[in-house]
A and B are shown apart, each in its own frame.
Chain A
Amino acid sequence: MRLHVLPTRRFKTFSLSLFIGIPLSESRVSAVALTPFVLRRGTSSYPETISFRERLDDLYGAGFGFDLYKRGDYQIVQLRLDMINDRFVSSELSLLQEAVRFLGEVLTSPALENGTFRGKYVEAEKRTVLKRIEAIVNDKIRYAGERCVAEMCKDEPYRLLALGRKDELAGIDAGTLYTEYRNWLSEAAIDLYVSGDTSLEEVERLAGESFRLPEGTPADYAAPEFRAPRAEPQTIVERLDVAQGKLNMGLRTDIGYAAAEYPALLVYNGILGAFPHSKLFINVREKASLAYYASSRLDGHKGLLTIQSGIEIGNYEQAVRIIVEQLAAMKEGRFDSEELERTKAMLSNQLRELQDSAFERIAFDFNNVLSGSDRTGENMLADVAGVVPEQVTAAAQRVGLDTIYFLRDRKEAEVGA
C-alpha cells in the first residue's frame, strides 16, 4: 500500500481516502463491485451492521462512505472517512488513530463466518447492487450518459458499468466472493491518503498497525488504451416515456492526463462547453433557447469527451446542427481572445479552489498516481496560463465525434436520425 499524507491545519477534520484499483474486466467487474457493499456491513470487531454504524456515530458522527467508478481502463473502489479533529471536542481517544484503525479493518478484516463472508450480508448486498443497477434508468440524465458511453465503447471493457453486470450477480455466493476479494487485495493498486493535522511518520505507524494486507509491492496503474473515433459517427436513438429528449454525444481524443498537450485540451473543453460562457451554453441555450443545460465534460484518463443536453424532442435536428457547428468552429480555430481568457480564468479558479477541499486535493493528487504524472496545482496553473490559441486548435484536431445518442419519447413521430 502506498501512503500519501497532505498535512494541513486548515480543516476541522481528518479526511481519509483509500483507492483500490484493478483492470476493468468482464469476469471480475461484478464481484469487485459487490465487495465494498459487503465490507460496509461489518468488521471483525463490529460484525453486526448496527454496531458498525454505532461505532461511526460514537466517533462523533464520522462520515463513512464508498464510491465505485471507472478511471481509464480500471475499476476503482474508493473508501472515504471524514471525521472531526479531536481539538474541537473533549475526547480521550486519538480520533485519527481510531479512524485509520477503522478503515484498516473495513478493508482487511471483514466480518466472517466459517472462513468466508457472511452469507446473509452477501445476499442482501446482491439485492442492493441489483437495485442500484436497475435504478440508473430512473435518472434520465445519468442513464443517457451511461448509454452513450456504452454504445461508444461497445467493444471495450469500458462499456461495463462500474456497478457490474446484472446477469452475473446471481451466480456469486459468499465463498466465491471471498476468494475474489482475497485475489483483489493481493493484485490491486492500493493507495491511502490522509489529509489533516498529521505527519507521514504518524500515518505510517498507524497504517502499519491497522492494515493486514498480503505481502508484496502494490501494483501500479498502466496507461489506458486511447482508441480512434469511428470513421463515420454512429447515431443511436432509444425510446422511453420521457417528457424531455436527452441528446448526448461521445467524442474521443488521444490526449491523456499525462500528455504535454493536456492543458490545451482542458482549455479546448472549457471554450467548448464546461462553463456558462462556453459555446454550447451560449449557442444552444442562450441564443436558441433550446435547452436548460448544454455542456461538455472531459475524462482525461480514458480520452473521452462527452456532451449532454436536455431538449424538446422536436428540436433534435436543430440541436445536433448547432452542436456540430460548435465542434467545427473549434477545429477551425474560431474562438476569440475573450473566450480564451475567460476559460483560462475559470480553469485557474477551479485549480485554486480545490485547495480548500481535503477530498478534492486528494482526488487531484490521485490523478498523478493513475496516470504516472507528477502535476502539482502550481505547475498545472502555469501550464494552463501558457496555452496559446494554436495549441487549442491543434488539440481540436485530435478530438473526433464518435457517437450521437438520443433518448426520446415513445410517440411515433419521425426523427431525422
Chain B
Amino acid sequence: MPKEHYAQLQETLLHEKLDNGLDVFILPKPGFTKAYATFATHYGSVDNRFKREGHEEVKVPDGIAHFLEHKMFEEPEGDIFATFSSQGASANAFTSFDRTVYLFSATESIERNVETLLDFVQNPYFTDANVEKEKGIIVQEINMYRDNADWRVYFGLIEALYVNHPVHIDIAGTPDSVRSITKEMLYECYRTFYHPSNMTLFLVGGVDPEAMMEIIKANQARKKFEPGGRIERYFDEEPETVRTPLLTTNLPVSLPKCMFGYKETPGPQRGEEAIRRELATKLMLESLLGASSPLYQELYDDNLISDGFGHEYNTGPGYAFSVIGGETRDPDELIARVTGALNEAAKSGIDEAVFERTRRKRIGSYLRMLNSPEAIASEFTRYRSRGGDLFELIGLYESLTLEELNARLREHVHPSRMSASIVRGE
C-alpha cells in the first residue's frame, strides 16, 4: 500500500484511490485514544450553477448545499445521530463555500463508526415531509446568524467585494430561498456532487491503518455506483472592481465592528504555485498586522483596536480576498491608518528581521496544529483539494523569500479593489 513518511514530522500517511474514485487517507497517531474522520465532498455554497455530464445545466436556490447537509442525517430508520451516539461517536457536519464535510470522533468501535459515516452519506433519504420539516430549523439557524454581529460584518464584506461570484451568497441562504427547496432539487445536487469520485475520506488517530483501509475498501466494493460523470461548474465573470466600497449594517453593538479587505484576481488555482501564493500572502499580512507588529501596538495604544483585531486570507475556486479588522471606536480612522501603513510598506518593503521572526512563528503554530486531529483532517483536505500537501508546508515556508512577500504586498493592496463592511448601532 502506498505510504508517505515525513521524517521531520514523524508522521506516516497511507493513501489509496479506490476503484469507484474515492480518495482515502489514513494518518495513524500512535498513542492517541481517539479517531477522527471526515468524509468530504467538493461541493459547497458557491456551486449553484452546474451541469452533470449527460444532463441539463441547472441553477439551484441559495443555501441548498447546506440544506442537503442537514437532510443527510435523516435515514429511513430515523436520525443517524442516534446511531452514532449508540456507538459512542460524536458526529457533526458543516458546509463552507466549496466543501461539505461530515465527521465524527470516537474512541471505540472505530470500524463501525467509519462504516456508519460512509453508509449514511451514501444513502440519501429525502421525502416531501422531512424536507418541509427541516425548513423551520434552518430558518432559525439563519435568524441566529442574523443576530450575530461578527458574522454580519464578515459576510457584509464579502457582499461588498463581490458582484457576481456566488461566494457572496450566504451559505445557509435566505428564509425564502430555503422555503423554495424541494426533494427533487436535493436529489439532483446529491447525484451530481456526492459521487465517490468527488469525495475524500480522511481518518486520523489511534487506528491500525492497514486494517482500516481493508474495511473501507470492502465497504465501498459492496456498493454499486454509476460511473461519475464530469461536473461543470459555471461562474459569471467577476469584474476587477468591487461591488461597493462600503456596506453598513445596523445592529445593536457596543462598539462598531469594521472589516475591510482587498479582492484579488485569483491567481493559479492549484499546485505549488497556488499554495506558495497563499502562504506568502498570509505571512505578509501577519508581518505587517500581527500582534507583535509596531502598527498593531500603535493602534492598540490609540484605542483604535481591541484584542480581536486580526486578519485572514481566504481563497477558493474563483475567489481570493483578505479580511482585516475587528471592533473599533472609529472605523474611518482605522481604515485610513491601516491602509496608509500598507501602502507605505508597499513602497518601503517589509523589514527582514520581522519577516524571519514571523516565519518562525508560523512554523511553530503549524507544528502545534499537528497535535490536533481535527485541524489535521481539515487542513489536509483543504490543501489536497488545491493540489498541495499539508505535510510539506515547512519546506515551503522555509523557501519563501522576502522579495516574494513584498511582491505579494504590492500586488494585493490595490485601492479600487478594497471594500469595507461596518456594523454599528443606529
A356 in contact with B297 (CB, 8 Å): no
In whole angstroms, what is the CA distance A417 to B85 when docked?
Answer: 36
**Given A61-B363, A138-B254, does the pair A342, B86 have CB atoms closer than 8 Å?**
yes
Cβ-closest chain A residue relative to B251: A241
- Min CB–CB distance A196 → chain B (angstroms): 11
Flag whether B187 is at the interface (Cβ < 8 A).
no
Q: Indicate if the CB atoms of B82 and A10 lie closer than 8 Å.
A: no
Contacts of A132 in B (CB 8 A): 306
Neighbouring B residues of A275 by C-beta, 8 Å: 81, 85, 90
**How many whole Å from B312's CB to the nearest CB in chain A?**
17
- CB of A217 within 8 Å of the partner chain: no
| Cβ–Cβ contact B108 & A349, under 8 A | yes
Q: Say yes or no: B301 contacts A124, CB within 8 Å.
A: yes
Which chain A residues lie closer than 8 Å to B291 at the CB level? 53
- Say yes or no for A293: interface residue by CB 8 A criterion: yes
A83 to B368, CA, bound (A): 7
Determine if A60 and B371 form an interchain contact, defined as CB atoms under 8 angstroms apart. Answer: no
* A60 contacts across to B, CB distance below 8 A: 360-361, 363-364, 367
Residue ID in chain B nearest A51 by CB atoms: B292
A353 touches B107 (CB 8 A): yes
Of the candidate stretches B139-147, B193-201, B234-242, B274-282, the one touching chain A is B139-147
Tell yes or no: B399 within 8 A of A by CB. no
15 contacts between A and B (CB under 8 A): A13-B368, A13-B371, A56-B361, A63-B365, A89-B364, A124-B301, A127-B303, A131-B255, A135-B254, A140-B148, A285-B137, A286-B79, A289-B133, A289-B137, A310-B144
A96 to B267, CA, bound (A): 42
Distance in angstroms between the alpha carbons of A291 and B372 in the assembled complex:
31
Task: Flag A124-151 by CB within 8 Å of B: 1 or 0 each.
Answer: 1001100110110111110000000000
Q: Are B255 and A134 in contact (CB under 8 A)?
A: yes
- The distance from the CB of B58 to the nearest CB of chain A, in whole angstroms, is 28
Among B26-34, B222-230, B332-340, B401-409, the stretch that binds chain A is B26-34
In whole angstroms, what is the CA distance A135 to B329 when docked?
Answer: 12
Residue of B8, B141, B254 most packed against chain A (CB within 10 A): B254
Chain B proximity of A101: nearest CB distance (Å): 17
**A63, B368: Cβ atoms under 8 Å?**
yes
Q: Which residues of A contact B136 (CB under 8 A)?
A: 289-290
3 nearest CB pairs, A to B: A61-B364, A60-B364, A61-B361
Q: Which residues, 315 to 338 on A, are CB-close (under 8 Å) to B?
A: 338
Given contact pairs A13-B371, A50-B292, A352-B33, enumerate 20 new A-B contacts (beta carbons under 8 Å).
A49-B297, A50-B294, A57-B361, A61-B361, A63-B368, A88-B8, A89-B367, A131-B306, A141-B144, A244-B146, A276-B81, A282-B79, A286-B79, A289-B134, A291-B137, A345-B85, A352-B107, A353-B105, A356-B34, A356-B373
Is A11 positioned at the interface, with any CB of B under 8 Å from its CB?
Answer: yes
Bound: A134/B9 CA distance, A = 44
* Shortest beta-carbon distance from A268 to chain B in Å: 16
B140 touches A291 (CB 8 A): yes
B357 contacts the other chain (CB 8 A): yes
A355 to B367, Cβ gap below 8 A? no
How far is A353 from B257 in the complex, measured between Cα atoms in Å?
37
Most chain A Cβ neighbours within 10 Å, of B33, B147, B300, B306: B147
| Contact of B371 with A341 in the complex, beta carbons under 8 Å | no
| B349-398 at interface with A (beta carbon < 8 Å) | 357-358, 360-365, 367-368, 370-373
Distance of A61 Cα from B291 Cα, bound (Å): 12
| Cα(A242)–Cα(B32), bound, Å | 44
Complex formed: what's the CA distance from A128 to B328 in Å?
11
Interface size class of B (residues with CB under 8 A): 35 or more
Min CB gap A297→B, angstroms: 15
Query: Inside 8 A of A9's CB, which chain B residues have their CB?
Result: 31
Closest residue of chain A to B109 (Cβ to Cβ) is A345
Complex: A135 Cα to B256 Cα, angstroms: 10
B365 with A61: CB separation less than 8 A: yes
If the complex has contacts A124-B300, A135-B254, A349-B108, are A358 and B86 also in contact, measured as CB distance less than 8 A?
A: no
B34 x A352 contact (CB < 8 A): yes
> Is A348 a contact partner of B88 (Cβ separation < 8 A)?
yes
| Cβ of A243 under 8 Å from chain B | yes
Interface centre among B33, B91, B253 (most CB of A within 10 A): B33
Q: Given that A12-B370, A53-B291, A60-B360 are known contacts, is A349 also in contact with B89, CB under 8 Å in the complex? A: yes
Task: List chain B residues, Cβ under 8 A from A290.
Answer: 136, 140
User: B88, A50: Cβ atoms under 8 Å?
Assistant: no
A12 neighbours in B (Cβ, 8 Å): 367-368, 370-371
- A63-114 residues with Cβ-Cβ distance < 8 A to B are 63, 82-84, 88-89
A63 and B88 CA atoms in complex are apart in Å by: 32
- Which residues on the B side are within 8 Å of A285 (C-beta)? 137
B268 surroundings in chain A (CB, below 8 A): none
Q: B271 in the interface, Cβ–Cβ < 8 Å?
A: no
| B140 CB contacts on chain A under 8 angstroms | 244, 290-292, 310-312
Interchain CB contact under 8 A, B294 and A128: no
Tell whether, in the assembled complex, residue B367 and residue A88 are in contact, meaning their CB atoms are under 8 Å apart: yes
What CA separation (Å) do A250 and B219 show in the bound complex? Answer: 46
Q: Find B371's partner among A11, A53, A244, A343 (CB 8 Å cutoff).
A: A11
Closest to A136 in B: B254
B interface footprint on A339-366 (CB within 8 Å = 1, 0 otherwise): 0011101101110110111100000000
Residue in chain B with minimal CB distance to A245 = B143
| Pair A355/B88 contact, Cβ less than 8 Å | no
Minimum distance in angstroms from B163 CB to a CB of chain A:
27
Query: B4 to chain A: closest CB distance in Å?
Result: 18
CB of B69 within 8 Å of the partner chain: no
CB-contact partner of B86 in A240, A293, A341, under 8 A: A341
Give the shortest distance, in Å, between B225 (CB) and chain A (any CB).
Answer: 29
**Residue A375 at the chain B interface, CB threshold 8 Å:** no
- Which residue on chain A has the smallest CB distance to residue B205? A356
B149 and A58 within 8 A (CB): no
A243 to B152, CA, bound (A): 13
Say whether B62 faces chain A, with CB atoms less than 8 Å apart: no
CA distance A400 to B40 in the complex (A): 43
Which of chain A's residues have a CB closer than 8 A to the CB of B361?
Answer: 56-57, 60-61
Given contacts A61-B362, A291-B140, A342-B86, contact A53 B292 (CB under 8 A): yes
Contact A349 B106 (CB under 8 A): yes
Contact of A156 with B by CB under 8 A: no
